Structure formats: C-alpha cells, structure tokens
Structure 1
Amino acid sequence: MKTFRICTFALVFLFSFACKEKTTSENAVTTSNHETSGNIKTEELKTEINGVTHRSFAAYNPDLKGVLPVVFVLPEWWGLNDYAKRRVKQLAELGYFAVGVDYYGDSKVVDNPEEANKLSSHFYEVPIDARRMFDAAKHQVILSEKADYSKMAIIGYCFGGAQALNMGRISDDFRGVVSFHGNLETGIRAKNKKVQYLVLNGEADSFVPAKEIEAFKKEMDSAGTKYKFVNYPGALHSFTNPDATEMGKKFNLQIGYNKDADEKSWEEMKKFLAEIFK
C-alpha cells in the first residue's frame, strides 16, 4: 500500500549509508523449526535483530535433488499472514526454495489500515531498516543446504512489491524481481542493469496513477534495464488477494480481488522465473 513519499535525496543517502555499514544480519543468531506436510517441508527461520525475533517462513520440497533456486516473498502491509505463507508454499510446489520475509518481527500480523500504515511507513522513512530485514533473510538462506544462493529472485505484493523493486534497484544479487500491484516510485532509482523486472499492475489501481507508471518506465528505460510491464484491465489494487474485496468494503479502500488477473499474473510470474533461472 502507498503510505507517503520522502525525498529522493534522503532515500538515496540512507541506502548509500546502509551499504557501507555493517548489516544487522552479520550479528544475527538464526535457528529454525521444521514441519513437513506431504512433500513440502516448512521451516520457521528465527533471527534476533536488535532484541526482536524475526520469523521468516521457508518452504521447499526435500525430495527434489540438488539445490533449489531461491524466491523471496515480501508480503503486503498486513504482514507475513496466511495469504503470504500460502504463496510461499505454492512456490515450493513449483520447485523453489521459497522464503516469506517477516519485516515486522515476532510474526506480527495486523488487520486494520491504521496499524498497517504505521508499521510499513517505517520502512519507507528509514530504508536502512528495510535493507537490514532483507539482508537478514538472505543470511538465513545461506545456512540451508537446499538453497542455491547463486540463483535468487524476489516477488512482492503491494508494500512488498515496492520493497522488492527497491532491492532490485540497489543490488545485483538477484536474477529478477516481480511486483504484484506494488508502488513504483519510492525515491530509489535503479543502479544496475543485471536485474530483470516484471511488474504486474491493475489498470484500475488508484494507488498507482498513470504518471507513476510513466515515471517508472522512463526510469527503467534510462537505466537500460530489462523489464516487462503488464496492466490488467479492470483490476484494482490487491487484485491477487481473495480477502481484498471484503477488506476494501470494511475499511472503504479501493482494493478488490480479481480472479482473472490473479491467475494470469501468476502464470506470468511462473514464465518469468523459469526464464531467469535457466
């Protein structure tokens, strides 16, 4: 979800500073709990960061031979809820080592826009912390024998879509980034040409106006970055989440589920991941 804008200079300065300083993940202590359902194994990857336990959620098929490409899932501003975890499991069923990132810590999930806005806004206002949370999740992946650290991608939804785009803009550790109904302008501009982008947007999304789309395309073109932008007719913000319509009515938000756009965007993502991981 869109929260507010902070100036480009401040964001770029903070991210530059973050790249120079020691990341939180270097001091993190990681443990994991395991659970197996069918042929999908799930793990809770716990990392202590500044006294807060962040509980990322990993899933993979242990029966698959060798190491697996890694796909991080960055959730909507509601937190790492059941919807986000379902996406993680779906990716595991496709043969990936999938990791849902717990940005808020202690698996905190919220159910109202006010608290969601307050928590997610912190990562726009202090982008160093967004980088730290993500670096901690990457550190956890290094510890897994099933994860192929040389093949990584990120997908994100709404708030997570914006964060996914930012990670791709500042780091070339990833083969590709997929944003589902995420904001496109955050003040961070692409710094490399190695990362490929797939942006899956709702044409009727009032949170992503036409001028923002135009600015994003101009940014990508100027950077010489390879990207694909798909607009789904009639689709509102949060079009992939089956709970979005009810939440929109409850809180008077212009969001809603769109089954056609959901299914088509997932297929686009599948093709994109298969291509970048060749």
Structure 2
Amino acid sequence: MIQRQTILYGGPGGPFEGVAAFDTDWTDLRPGVLILPNVLGEKEQDRVTAERIAALGYVALVGDLYGQGKRTTRESPDPAVYMNPLNADRPLLRDRLFASLAALHALPQVDTARTAAIGYCFGGKAVIDLARIGADVLGVVAFHGIFDPPGYAYPMPIRAKLLICHGWNDPLAPPEAVTGLAAELTAAEADWQLLGFGGAGHAFTDISLKTSTRPGFGYDANADRRSWAAMTGFLSEVFA
C-alpha cells in the first residue's frame, strides 16, 4: 500500500517540510526520486505526483525549498514571494537543494546509490542546478523549466544525465534560452537530451491550468502524457 509521510529536515533558512511516498509492502531498498515543485511550493498536486512515482516502484520525496509553512497560491498577492529570493541568490538555492537531497538519502527505504530528481517550472530550474553542482544523483528531469545559468562556477564534466521536457511556445524559456542551455550542457560534457513539444507552453503538465487563456501558459494533455512516458523510460535507464 502506498503511504505518505511528512518529513521534517534542516538546512539554511529551515526547518523544511516535505512529503514522502512509498509502498509499505516493500522489504528491499528502492531508488529514490526527489520532486521539486513549481513557484507555489509543496502542495497536494506534488503529493499526488509522489504517489505516482511510488507506484513505479520508487521512493519519492517532495522537497521544500522555501521553509516550513511558506507556501503560496495563484491567488496570492505575489505568488513568487518565496521564489524570488532564491532566484536572486543561487548559492542559497544550491545549499537548500543539497539539504533536500540529503533528506531523500536519509529515508530508510532509499537505495542511496540510485537517486534522481524531477522538477516543474522553478523546480525544473532547481533540478538542472542539481546536475550543475555535481549533486549525488544519477539523472534529472526538468518539466517546463527555466534555463538561466546560476552565475557561479560548477564542477565539470556534469555527471548526472539530463532530460529536458520543454513546451516550445513557453515565453519563460524562448528558443535562445533553449539553445543557450544546449550549448552550456554540451560544453560541460553532459549526457543530455531535449524533448520539445510543439504547440505547448509553460506549465503544460499543470491540469489546474486546463482553461488558462494566458498566451503561452496552460495544460497540454499530449505534452503531459508524452513527457511522463519519457520520464519513466529515463528513470528506468538511469536506475538500471
């Protein structure tokens, strides 16, 4: 039976509160997947994703990059109130990423030699940073992520494999940002792949935006389905 568990952990600016999902019938160690949420922070949508990851046979942890109790909604006066300081201080984001990954590794069900990370929007930027900083993950998957580099030197070559799932009409990551990331990852000798979905924009996995009328933003069923399938194949490969 798949079960959720609230996980409290430390780090700069903490405490932090994440949610793990795993099957209570398992008796062996399983690969672990860190899930990093979008601009709003950890929420029910991410917990459901964690359960879907657990159903694939992995242990999932929804990480918290903002701090316990620091969450927003789309109706908040400033939905990006907790994201903006991390965008402005990428070393702080780096340190919180290390803390979240350490929390995943600390789960007793996790095979620490086989971990990966996936992220959405801001979380997509975060998982690319995980690969950049040489974190102990085998691979990362970014869904409609943001691609600007962190502004500090990082170890090369990049060891983690990367899968970038991108809506081609995403105004937050225009074609020049995509080619810039490709050039960066190539220079870093990374094993990377990019899936671009024509007609899809930012947040194409977010079903709560199914009726969005904002140009370049909204749910796209085809891109959502295809990117999830690509992710499952990618995780199977890196955990093999």
Fold match (TM-score > 0.5): yes
Query: Which sections of structure 2, spanning at least 5 residues, go unmatched?
Result: none
**2:31 maps to 1:69:** yes
Higher Rg of the two aligned structures: 1
Point out 4+ residue stretches in structure 1 off by more than 4 angstroms. 48-52
Tell me the alpha carbon deviations over residues 94-140 of structure 1, each in whole angstroms, 9 at most, x when there is no partner: 11110101112224331137522221111111123212322222332
| Distance (whole Å) between structure 1 residues aligned to residue 10 and residue 115 of structure 2 | 23
| Distance (whole Å) between structure 2 residues aligned to residue 104 and residue 256 of structure 1 | 24
| Distance (whole Å) between structure 2 residues aligned to residue 145 and residue 217 of structure 1 | 36
**Structure with the higher fraction of residues in helix conformation:** 1
Residue 194 (structure 1) shift: 1.6
Counterpart residue number, 1:137: 100
One-letter amino acid of the structure 2 residue matched with residue 90 of structure 1: R
TM-score w.r.t. length of structure 2: 0.91
**2:218 maps to 1:256:** yes
Q: How does 1:1-278 map to 2 (within 5 A)?
A: 39-49=1-11, 52-112=14-74, 115-188=78-151, 191-246=156-211, 248-249=212-213, 252=214, 254-278=216-240
Distance 1:175 1:231, change over 3 A: same
Question: What SS does structure 1 have at the residue aligned with 2:127?
Answer: helix
Distance 1:174 1:52, change over 3 A: closer
Question: What SS does structure 2 have at the residue aligned with 1:177?
Answer: strand
Root-mean-square deviation (CA), in Å?
1.9
CA contact (8 A) 1:245 1:255 kept: no
| Distance (whole Å) between structure 2 residues aligned to residue 119 and residue 59 of structure 1 | 25
Question: What SS does structure 2 have at the residue aligned with 1:92?
Answer: helix
Query: Which sections of structure 1, spanning at least 5 residues, go unmatched?
Result: 1-38
